[in-house]
A and B are shown apart, each in its own frame.
Chain A
């Protein structure tokens, strides 16, 4: 655990600081005044008063010293001595000893006190040591803060973004997070939650769709025998001459026609009930297209130039659905980069969605926008065959046009959106 490591580091630094301080203090211990040695020195000087030389006084005391007479003339000074005046010596707390000759003071022995300078040096060394240790501590703490930021704060922020995305209904963006942080397991369960939500939603959507498809398919299927009935009754109407029979057959024909209308209505009503076909056209700035494209540009697989600014007639929700549909088709069937080109031409904003896949066969082209039609290249891809049908329905409701064609290097779906006038 990193906390143990941090505690150990701080403890080590603390101990290091203590040891360093002690060493500093020990190194600068103030020398005691050696009374015996000084007495010895005083005796030697008094005995040789008047002719003190180095050999008499050397090595008796370790401190530097000077000998002066009553007029403060220096009679002798040891090599390291720095005597200036007795006043300065008193200030420096030097040891002053009277030198006597026949019970009369003839001079003074001044033993210099070096405590002051030692204390100054010690203070300096201590400051350096303390600064060093505190600095080291600071560095450790800063590093630790950075680590906390990376392992705690950042993941939390990421988690927040993730939660916002999920709340917005965007289940496609996974939560990427290293497993070696504190939240590894924690965040993994969040990601599981997202997965579950996504599949649950997909399932709900699918069950809804299968219901819708059932009704839609049924109504479509009813239409086939109905068409036969209508055809036969029409034939009978032409063949019979009996007025009574003619009247009955006429009734059958008109009722069959009525059923036909009802079934068609049902088909549309089913889809509309599921909020699938309502189109509310408004005037919006073409800048919304950029957002729409960005909304589906998950892997940055889409290249697009700036959309020419203009005011278009569209239902933004539906147009988004159309773009989603076409782009996901391109993802699904072409699996190449997608390019979107747009230009203003006459009364339309033309948007071409271009992929670089294999396209589809020319024979299938006219069928693409048919209800329930699925191309030959659908192996392994799920779908209902309704996407392009609904897209065309939407675009036409917006007074626009949708077309598609093969190019030598891919497939293009061209949408024309009406400009506001």
Chain B
């Protein structure tokens, strides 16, 4: 089956300079990410994982090279153009969820949705469907974010991220602050929406999170050191799958 490429980079470099020192965080990366894939970026701290995620999603401009995202070169966009591009084509989930505390859960979702569409009726319908998908029951819709548990809040965060049907959902350590039961719930949501066709790029250093992906990129010193294809995730009992991942990471010097 031919898969379409949604993001491809060419000699992507990111350099931070402070004083006279230059630190090359990303070096000549040629990456292509297929549509519908669940791509996981792993690597030790400081290997450039988050920097890569920010560059791929247009949050940060690369120093050199090009990023082709759905036919647009992100490296050439101005800040304002990049902001509009992100609003229309990217969804974001972070470790910190950043829901707006003075709005109800449902309003949080609507506020995001109304940035892109004016059709409120359809938006409400879509939001309800998504809430069902991530198993947030109707009783919680009118609650305020502070009344939610961490896992619930993160699932609301995911709904907010995908309400505008982004081409790619970017996640940076989405389960970093959650206990294992809550992370399992959140990860199930990721698996579910990926099965429904949502492309996901996720940065993590958690094995249980990584095993959900069907492609693992291992980043070391700003270079892709390994590229593992895992195939589609079925259930958590798949021991062979997690062994394959562990073996791969051991080889990478994890």
In the assembly, what is the distance between CA of A310 and CA of B11, in Å?
A: 6
A376 at the interface (CB under 8 A from B): no
Q: Is the CB of B13 within 8 A of A285?
A: yes
A169 at the interface (CB under 8 A from B): no
Give chain A residues whose Cβ lies under 8 Å from the Cβ of B185.
Answer: none
Give the A-binding residues of B (Cβ under 8 A).
11, 13, 15, 22, 24, 27-28, 63-65, 223
Q: Which B residue's beta carbon lies closest to that of A283?
A: B24
Q: Is the CB of A420 within 8 A of B64?
A: no
Tell me the A274-291 residues at the B interface (CB within 8 Å): 283-287
Q: Which B residue's beta carbon lies closest to that of A286?
A: B64
Q: Is the CB of A309 within 8 A of B65?
A: yes
A402 at the interface (CB under 8 A from B): no
A-B interface pairs (CB < 8 A), number = 36
In the assembly, what is the distance between CA of A308 and CA of B64, in Å?
A: 9
Q: Is the CB of A310 within 8 A of B63?
A: no
Q: Is the CB of A344 within 8 A of B11?
A: yes
Nearest 4 CB-CB pairings of A with B = A309-B64, A310-B11, A420-B27, A311-B13
Q: Is the CB of A308 within 8 A of B63?
A: no
* Max count, chain B CB within 10 A of own CB: residue among A284, A310, A344, A419: A310
Q: Is the CB of A421 within 8 A of B64?
A: no
CB distance from B13 to the nearest CB of A (A): 5
CB distance from B25 to the nearest CB of A (A): 11
* Max count, chain B CB within 10 A of own CB: residue among A283, A309, A311, A421: A311
Given A285-B63, A309-B65, A310-B64, is A421 in contact with B11 using a C-beta cutoff of 8 Å? no
CB distance from B86 to the nearest CB of A (A): 23
Q: Which of A284, A287, A421 contacts B28 (CB under 8 A)?
A: A421
Give chain B residues whose Cβ lies under 8 Å from the Cβ of A311.
Answer: 11, 13, 15, 24, 27-28, 64
Q: List 25 A-B contacts (CB under 8 A).
A: A283-B24, A283-B27, A284-B22, A285-B15, A285-B63, A286-B64, A287-B64, A308-B11, A309-B13, A310-B11, A310-B13, A310-B28, A310-B65, A311-B11, A311-B15, A311-B24, A311-B27, A311-B28, A344-B11, A419-B11, A419-B28, A420-B24, A420-B28, A421-B27, A421-B28
In the assembly, what is the distance between CA of A260 and CA of B64, in Å?
A: 48
Give the B-binding residues of A (Cβ under 8 A).
283-287, 308-311, 344, 419-421
In the assembly, what is the distance between CA of A285 and CA of B17, in Å?
A: 12
In the assembly, what is the distance between CA of A303 and CA of B168, in Å?
A: 42
Give chain B residues whose Cβ lies under 8 Å from the Cβ of A309.
Answer: 11, 13, 64-65
In the assembly, what is the distance between CA of A419 and CA of B64, in Å?
A: 13
CB distance from A174 to the nearest CB of B (A): 34
In the assembly, what is the distance between CA of A344 and CA of B28, in Å?
A: 11
In the assembly, what is the distance between CA of A308 and CA of B12, in Å?
A: 12
Give chain B residues whose Cβ lies under 8 Å from the Cβ of A419.
Answer: 11, 27-28
CB distance from B15 to the nearest CB of A (A): 7
CB distance from A320 to the nearest CB of B (A): 18
In the assembly, what is the distance between CA of A419 and CA of B13, in Å?
A: 11
In the assembly, what is the distance between CA of A285 and CA of B64, in Å?
A: 8
* Max count, chain A CB within 10 A of own CB: residue among B11, B13, B28, B223: B28
In the assembly, what is the distance between CA of A248 and CA of B64, in Å?
A: 65
CB distance from A412 to the nearest CB of B (A): 24
CB distance from A400 to the nearest CB of B (A): 15
* Max count, chain B CB within 10 A of own CB: residue among A286, A287, A309, A420: A309
* Max count, chain A CB within 10 A of own CB: residue among B13, B15, B22: B13
Give chain B residues whose Cβ lies under 8 Å from the Cβ of A285.
Answer: 13, 15, 63-64
CB distance from B10 to the nearest CB of A (A): 8
Give chain A residues whose Cβ lies under 8 Å from the Cβ of B64.
Answer: 285-287, 309-311
CB distance from A382 to the nearest CB of B (A): 39
In the assembly, what is the distance between CA of A309 and CA of B29, in Å?
A: 12
CB distance from B219 to the nearest CB of A (A): 12
In the assembly, what is the distance between CA of A284 and CA of B179, in Å?
A: 43
CB distance from B22 to the nearest CB of A (A): 8
In the assembly, what is the distance between CA of A293 and CA of B6, in Å?
A: 37
Give chain A residues whose Cβ lies under 8 Å from the Cβ of B223.
Answer: 421
Give chain B residues whose Cβ lies under 8 Å from the Cβ of A283.
Answer: 24, 27
Q: Which B residue's beta carbon lies closest to that of A420?
A: B27
In the assembly, what is the distance between CA of A306 and CA of B13, in Å?
A: 17
* Max count, chain A CB within 10 A of own CB: residue among B11, B24, B63, B65: B11
Give chain A residues whose Cβ lies under 8 Å from the Cβ of B15.
Answer: 285, 311
CB distance from B142 to the nearest CB of A (A): 52
Give chain B residues whose Cβ lies under 8 Å from the Cβ of A421.
Answer: 27-28, 223
In the assembly, what is the distance between CA of A308 and CA of B28, in Å?
A: 11
